Structure 1
Amino acid sequence: MNAPRTRVQRRPVHGVLLLDKPLGLSSNDALQKVKWLLRAEKAGHTGTLDPLASGVLPLCFGAATKFSQLQLEAPKTYTAIARLGQTTTTADAEGAVLRERPVDLVSITPERLAAVQAQFTGDIQQVPPMYSALKKDGKALYEYARAGVEIERPARAVTIHALKLALTQDEDGQPAIEMVVTCSKGTYIRTLAEDVGEALGCGAHLRALRRTDTGGIDLARCVTLQALIDMPEAERMQHVLPADTLLHAHVPVTLGEQDAGRFLSGLRRRGDWPDASAVAVYGDQPRALLGVGHVTSGELIPDRLLSPLEIQQILEGTPLHTERGSLETL
């Protein structure tokens, strides 16, 4: 007879946990595991990272979910390994080999790599892969691909902010290219690996991918899932950072008590602020994040607001039930 499952008592958690996502887990699986470990009521991630990729994945809880879109739009940096001489059906290691070609390592000189770097740096056009979640007539492209149907995909504009290529070997000792890429939203690293391989005359497919930075948040600030599992519950909560962790690029504006209350009601406020497209707005006494907005012609205009309950819970701290059943506040 199976033992009855213990019901997890959820609680309000507000903030951001910076996870170093492991290989083999989808972004949503990783989110659900951390949500369970924190016993959080509400959670969301800031953009998917494929199961075959590891690295920086900010997870948002409670009020911080209102700002997750900011990370979706942010530039991201990856380190990738692309095996030379083979193309696959999926452009990565999961697919069947489509074509094999010899790799002329002598011709892959630093000068040639520099020329290919320049070719794929800046604003470029990419044709999305068939094995992707993009939709056609309400159906994901990978569903068509699995059925053997090829769909015409128009090229899309993406931006490669920086690209560094170096000759290396993959985990099997085969010739490969290491790519360090900083790119815009919507860039497919698999497609970039394929395109770089074609530019080198031998083809390529992605063997390994690790996200090292997203919107200025790097791996040094992240915690692994296994470390979270192994630590006591109270220690896990110490890894939940304030919601404004995602707002480091915003201009801070602080409002007095009356203006703060009106701003939270959705009213615009006037002041001598310079124009700014992204503003993080705080109340003065006590200091608390109220939301985000923008300033136009001296007018502070709300965009996303925290609720009074969320602000109160953040100021009071999240109640934590200990193993002894007592109640403490972090």
Structure 2
Amino acid sequence: MYNGILPVYKTRGMTSHDVVFKLRKILGTKKIGHTGTLDPEVDGVLPICIGPATKVSDYIMDMGKTYHATVSIGTSTTTEDQTGEIIATQRISESELNNVQIDNVVASFQGIITQIPPMYSSVKVNGKKLYEYARNNETVERPERQVNIYQIERTSDVSYENNTCQFNLMIKCGKGTYIRTIATDIGKALGLPAHMSKLTRTSSGGFHINESLSLEDISQLHEQEALQEKLFAIEYGLKGLPSIYIENNDIKNKILNGQKFNINDFNTSISGKVIMIDVQSEKILAIYEPHPTKTDEIKPKRVFN
């Protein structure tokens, strides 16, 4: 059975669930999961966890993502992207905006920002997804959320066509960020309707689009029995966490049995999640974290045995 992380290139027109469904058929295994959905009209890298590697999918999602987006100024839509119905328009002339204005607004979105999720999203309110309310023409108060924008910058000249303008952005961000909401909020900051007209995810969880494989590539490699060598080890999916290398066999056995430890048992400062790695095999043994009530203890979050 396969075991590892596979960066897949998701084409436009497919859902993330479609990718998982097709991979299950290709590989003949049900133990497959993705690491954060991409909307159907978004393409890019989608890290897929296979076999025991499904245990680390949450940690991959915590490692951040990079997107290349196109922002269109002059129209806004119900979905905040190009798939929705137009709800507002305004003619944009070349004398109305300049690079300096746009760059100043774009720069204001770097750091911790507050977002209101789009109505057409899978965020749940009162146990029901927002897009379900939207499809029923129901309104509901959407909870604000804070997201982290590590870097955001304009990557193209501003172009004008058909009384609208467009420009491209590169955005590095933490999980839970809605790029289409950034596009519409940039428009609001400029006092103009806007939406996201194109989006590609170029990296996710440390995996880059250039190293991702298409479903066709994966099918061929599987038939040639050469796919396993393309999979990344579980350890790669946890590279965002600090590591402690374990040499003592007695401690290894205690870790694999899920025992707790005194925080001073290891010659390192532990303030959050940490991975325990076997020195000899370089394989991950477990993920540990500080005990919620006993400040002098660490406890296993997940054991890999």
**TM-score when normalising by structure 2:** 0.88
1:1-330 counterparts in 2 under 5 A? 12-165=1-154, 166-168=156-158, 175-231=165-221, 232-255=223-246, 256-269=248-261, 270-294=265-289, 301-307=299-305
Superposition RMSD on alpha carbons, in Å? 2.5
Query: Within 1, Cα distance between the matches of 2:143 and 2:126?
Result: 15
Cα 1:125–1:274 change in 2 (3 A) is closer
Q: Which runs of 5+ in 1 are unaligned?
A: 1-11, 308-330
Q: Is the contact between residue 20 and residue 223 of structure 1 (CA under 8 Å) also seen in structure 2?
A: yes
Residue 137 to residue 302, structure 1, CA distance change in 2 (3 Å): closer
1:6-33 CA-partner distances (Å, limit 9, x unpaired): xxxxxx3211101121111111211222
In 2: Cα distance, 1:175 partner to 1:114 partner: 14
Cα offset, 1:201, TM superposition: 3.2
Instruction: Tell me the distance in 1 between the aligned counterparts of 2:124 and 2:254.
Output: 42
Question: How far is 1:305 from its partner?
Answer: 0.7
Supply the distance in 1 between the matched residues of 2:101 and 2:269 (Cα, whole angstroms). 47
| 1:152-175 CA-partner distances (Å, limit 9, x unpaired) | 223322222211124445999963
Aligned mates of 2:145, 2:289 — CA distance in 1: 29
- Deviation readout 1:274-317 (Å, 9 max, x if unpaired): 3252322222444432122247999664221113xxxxxxxxxx
For structure 2, the 5+ residue unaligned runs are none
What is the CA-CA distance between 1:82 and the residue it aligns to?
2.0
Change (3 A) 1:286 1:127: closer
CA deviation after TM superposition for structure 1 residue 98, in Å: 0.9
Contact 1:81 1:170 in 2 (8 A): no
Cα distance in 1, alignment partners of residues 300 and 83 from structure 2: 45
Q: 1:118 and 1:161 mapped to 2: Cα distance?
A: 11
Aligned length: 296
User: Which SS does the other structure have where 1:304 is aligned?
Assistant: strand
C-alpha contact (below 8 Å) 1:14/1:61 kept by paired residues = yes
Name the CA shift for 1:120/1:245 in 2 (closer, same or farther; >3 Å).
Answer: same
Equivalent AA in structure 2 for residue 241 of structure 1: F
Cα separation, 2, equivalents of 1:77 and 1:170: 26
CA contact (8 A) 2:7 2:48 kept: yes
Give the Cα–Cα distance (whole angstroms) in 2 for the partners of residues 95 and 305 of structure 1.
Answer: 44
CA distance in 2, matches of 1:205, 1:71: 28
SS in 2 for 1:241: coil
Larger Rg: 1
Give 1:140 shift: 1.3
Q: 1:7 matched to which residue of 2?
A: none
Q: Is the 8 A contact 1:274 1:295 kept in 2?
A: no
The whole-number CA distance in structure 2 between the counterparts of 1:277 and 1:233 is 42
Letter in 1 for 2:67: Y
TM-score, structure 1 as length reference: 0.81
Please report how far the alpha carbon of residue 69 of structure 1 lies from its aligned counterpart in structure 2 after TM superposition: 0.7
Q: Distance in 2 between matches of 1:88 and 1:44?
A: 31
CA distance in 2, matches of 1:294, 1:276: 8
Which amino acid letter does the alignment assign opposite residue 82 of structure 1?
A: V
In 2: Cα distance, 1:13 partner to 1:229 partner? 13
Deviations 1:31-68 (A, max 9, x none): 22223322234111111111111112111112211111
Contact preservation (8 Å) 1:196, 1:203:
no
| Superposed displacement of residue 237, structure 1 | 2.4
Comparing 253-262 and 204-213, the one that deviates more = 253-262
Deviations 1:98-147 (A, max 9, x none): 11101132332221122102222222221211111112222211111111
- Would the aligned equivalents of 2:47 and 2:205 in 1 still touch at CA under 8 Å? no
Call closer, same or farther: CA 1:21–1:295 in 2, change over 3 Å: same
Percentage identity across aligned positions? 32
Distance 1:180 1:149 in 2: 34
